[in-house]
Amino acid sequence: MAVAETVANLASNSTGMIAFSAALAIAGSAIAAAWAEKAIGSAAIGAMAEKEELFGKGLILTVIPETIVIFGFAIAFFILGLAK
């Protein structure tokens, strides 16, 4: 019985670590995207204050860091595939 309980505890711990790793992948990528958007957004607003025709470029450059979160989600999805 002790061996079965030990194996069950190890399985539950590894599943928890897999879930934590997936959450860390999403959280890290979201924080990185927010940090990048902060810098790009303030620069884009400053540029648009001087030239209004830069709105389209500023909008596109502000949205690009969101792809980092998509990559984080993909990694988290693959990590969760390790759980059984």
- Tell me: the pLDDT tens digits for 2-58? 666 655 565 566 778 888 889 999 999 999 999 999 999 999 999 999 999 999 998
Q: What is the pLDDT at residue 40?
A: 92
Token pair for residue 13? 């711990």
List phi, psi (to 5°) of 81. -65, -20
Q: What angle do CA 73, 77, 79 make, to 5 degrees?
A: 115
Would you say residue 1 has pLDDT above 90?
A: no
Domain boundaries, the chain: 2-80
Q: What is the pLDDT at residue 35?
A: 94
Q: Looking at domain 2-80, does it have CATH number 1.20.20?
A: yes
E strand intervals along the chain: none
Q: What is the pLDDT at residue 14?
A: 79
Token pair for residue 1? 């019985």
